[in-house]
Amino acid sequence: MKIGIDISGGDFAPEAPLAGVALAYDALPAGVRLVLIGDQDQIAEGLAAIQFDAGRVDIIHAPEIIGMDEHPVKAFSQKPNSTISVGYRLLKEGRLDAFASCGNTGAMLVGAMYTVKAIAGVIRPCITTALPKEEGGFNLLLDVGSNADCKPDVLYQFGILGKLYAQHVFGITDPKVGLLNIGEEAEKGNLVSQAAHNLMKDSRDFTFTGNVEGRDLFSDKADVIVCEGFTGNVVLKFAESFYSAIRKRHIDDPYFNRFNYEIYGGTPILGINGNAIIGHGISSPEAIKNMLLLARDVAEAKLPEKIKQAF
């Protein structure tokens, strides 16, 4: 198995990605080889600085970088030698089993749609986040930013995508799917939520557990929680700020510590013809290590193939 990683992506590149690579090699099995995508001289210097044997990795030269503030569509089309463009090209050609980056999220989403493309039948690919449950485990929330506005049929498909991800990557036999709403009753919420509930309530594609309120986000009422990307991103940023407040107050609690984004590493783009993993822009070496471990798990699960079968 070969996993590509964007060495120039993220706020702390290239140091953090290279350090993350070194940590990942201690946790990955011998059959996994990492492919480092970025400026080859910079990579060689960085590996030498941390005394990591460059012979343990493959290096693909990609001198251009898509900055965090660049327009995703323009940058992806105008920079064919960027790390993200090259990574997706290798993924499309089958030279990588997965591609991971902490770079420009918009460019990662654009790259997915322009190169490996959406799986036939999937209306809108999406991304997820993990919300720790009080009783252990976590809820998968999707979408969390790639689709600000969604129609009811798109939300329904998120239920299928989330179920398959929870089932095949995290081993949850029959994931419960809930719809994020402002009340438990079927008639609550806006017109989109009401229509989505009507589609989901008789679903044979997943086990629908009904509406999930904000107070249920960390409960065991569901395993997969569906919402449009606008609301999902608000919830995600709230959870991040909550964890930041906990840390600033020097509170050490086993449950609250599970809000640390580093534990989860990143998120796959669900619904595309390939394994692409997006990491947080501020990812530390530990977060990047876990992003690479997640990339291995998603590739081993053959998630795109499972989604193709379902659709």
Residues 154 and 206 in one domain: yes
The pLDDT, as a whole number, for residue 253 is 94
Q: What domain count does the chain have? A: 2
Q: Does 253 share its domain with 157?
A: yes
Same domain, 141 and 100: no
- For residue 297, the number of C-alpha atoms closer than 13 Å in the C-beta half-sphere is 20
* pTM for this model (two decimals): 0.94
The verdict on residue 164 lying in a domain is yes
Q: pLDDT of the chain along its 311 residues, tens only?
A: 999 999 999 999 999 999 999 999 989 988 899 999 999 999 999 999 999 998 889 999 999 999 998 999 999 989 999 999 999 999 999 999 999 999 999 999 999 999 999 999 999 999 999 999 998 999 999 999 999 999 999 999 999 999 999 999 999 999 999 999 999 999 999 999 999 999 999 999 999 999 999 999 999 999 999 999 999 999 999 999 999 999 999 999 999 999 999 999 999 999 999 999 999 999 999 999 999 999 999 999 999 999 999 99
Q: Residue 204 sits in which domain range?
A: 123-270
How far is the C-alpha of 248 from the C-alpha of 6, rounded, in Å? 31
**CA–CA separation, 259 and 298 (whole Å):** 22
Residue 247 lies in a domain: yes
Whether residues 263 and 135 fall in one domain: yes
Residues 262, 137 share a domain: yes
Domain holding 75: CATH number? 3.40.718.10
Whether a cis peptide bond, with omega within 30° of 0, leads into 11 is no
Domain membership flag for residue 309: no
End-to-end CA distance of the chain: 26
